[in-house]
């Protein structure tokens, strides 16, 4: 604190340069925090601790290949199995392709039992109405609120995979612990079979609930071994692995985000280093005068290093503030386009990473020019006087 006034005076010697550098740093840190938070949110979606005892059984070749419904009879008889459900991704569009949300044709009775950790609050009478109505559907509360749906409203989905446009009546809603789990619509699988006769007796996957999470590896191995010689062999995997594979269909998001983050951090280092190199080079004579007045090389080095770290810290704190203040708006914007990001938030770990990265970049970018400045002979610096 003794030399703080010297640090601040030097830092704001060129206010325009300092403010532009801080603004660039703040925007860059905001970008890094947002991208890393998106990755953390997607990682949390694909690593759901509540899905430890759920298994997805699908065709070994591809998600688009169907498997016979009769497989379910054998799976249901296994001692580790608590419940099973046939489910098919419908992929319908509501009004506009931009209104993307997950919609499935599923066996209605086991839905609540299979997903009881997600469907934590619902009305029993509404669910019974859904079971009785072949043209009914149930939707998550967040999804219903997004489109203004109420019980009794008619929702028409435009088929993109299957040649049918089901007119569904909303029979109930449910609430979950996570908003991402409420971005789903379920309707009767029988309705899909009736509308598309060619898939009768076949389905995209089975969702299997094991009695205990410890039974899952053994159950997966036995299912795939039993159907390994069938015309339609299976691939069984945990729900988290299934969700991860589904997200990978969008591309290697982790690699893309890490690449962008690395490029942004490299740009931060270059810009900060250039700014500090210019600032220190302009003060060659001043540094020599300090040393001639009795300041030690370490004291001068500390003043210069403090200036670079403070510059980076100002930009880092500004970026963190932008990310924290804008998290809600980002959640609404991104979550409306990609339902898996409905629970977007800026983790504390990400904010701390950005803060430490900013300080580290300030240290690295200032060390070399500051070291060169204090190593220069005093007489060379005084020649400009």
pLDDT at 207: 94
Three-state SS for 128-154 is: HHHHHCCCEEEEEHHHHHHHCCCCCCE
For residues 363 and 309, is the Cβ–Cβ distance under 8 A? yes
Q: Is 371 exposed, middle or buried (0-12, 13-18, 19+ CB in 10 A)?
A: middle
Q: pLDDT tens, position by position, for the chain (385 residues)?
A: 566 666 666 666 667 877 888 888 888 888 888 888 887 777 766 667 677 789 999 999 888 899 999 999 999 999 999 999 999 999 899 988 888 888 999 999 999 999 988 888 899 999 999 999 999 999 999 899 989 999 999 999 999 899 999 999 999 999 988 887 888 999 999 999 999 999 889 999 999 999 888 889 999 999 999 999 888 999 999 887 777 766 665 556 777 777 888 888 888 778 777 777 777 776 666 666 666 777 776 776 777 777 777 888 888 888 888 888 877 777 766 655 666 666 677 888 888 888 888 888 888 877 777 777 777 766 665 665 5
pTM listed for this prediction: 0.73
Phi, psi of 57 (to 5 degrees): -115, 120
pLDDT at 31: 87
pLDDT at 164: 93
Q: Tokens for 101?
A: 């949300």
How many residues are present in the chain? 385
């Amino acid at each position: 604190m003794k030399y703080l006034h010297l640090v601040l005076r030097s830092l704001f010697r060129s206010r325009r340069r300092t403010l532009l550098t801080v603004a660039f740093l703040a925007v860059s840190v905001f970008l890094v925090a947002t991208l890393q938070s998106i990755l953390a949110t997607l990682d949390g979606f694909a690593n759901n601790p509540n899905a430890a005892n759920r298994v997805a059984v699908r065709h070994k070749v591809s998600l688009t290949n169907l498997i016979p419904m009769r497989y379910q009879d054998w799976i249901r008889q296994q001692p580790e199995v608590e419940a099973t459900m046939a489910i098919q991704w419908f992929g319908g569009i509501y009004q506009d392709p931009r209104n993307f949300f997950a919609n499935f044709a599923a066996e209605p009775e086991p839905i609540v039992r299979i997903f009881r950790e997600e469907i934590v609050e619902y009305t029993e009478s509404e669910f019974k109405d859904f079971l009785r109505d072949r043209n009914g559907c149930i939707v998550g509360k967040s999804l219903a609120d997004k489109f203004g749906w109420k019980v009794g409203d008619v929702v028409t989905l435009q088929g993109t995979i299957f040649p049918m446009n089901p007119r569904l009546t909303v029979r109930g809603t449910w609430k979950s612990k996570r908003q991402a789990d409420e971005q789903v619509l379920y309707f009767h699988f029988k309705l899909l079979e009736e509308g598309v006769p060619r898939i009768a007796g076949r389905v995209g996957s089975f969702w299997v609930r094991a009695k205990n999470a410890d039974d899952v590896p053994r159950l997966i191995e036995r299912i795939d071994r039993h159907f390994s010689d069938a015309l339609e062999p299976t691939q069984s995997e945990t729900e988290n692995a299934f969700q991860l594979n589904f997200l990978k269909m969008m591309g290697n998001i982790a690699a893309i985000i890490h690449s962008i983050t690395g490029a942004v951090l490299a740009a931060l280092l270059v810009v900060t280093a250039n700014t500090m190199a210019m600032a220190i080079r302009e003060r060659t004579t001043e540094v020599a005068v300090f040393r001639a007045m009795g300041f030690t090389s370490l004291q001068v080095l500390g003043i210069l290093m403090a200036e670079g770290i403070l510059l980076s810290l100002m930009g880092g704190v500004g970026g963190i503030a932008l990310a924290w203040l804008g998290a809600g708006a980002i959640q609404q914007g991104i979550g409306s386009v990609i339902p898996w990001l409905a629970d977007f938030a800026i983790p504390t770990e990400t904010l701390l990473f950005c803060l430490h990265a900013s300080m580290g970049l300030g240290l690295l970018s200032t060390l070399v020019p500051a070291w060169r400045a204090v190593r220069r002979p005093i007489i060379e610096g005084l020649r400009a006087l």
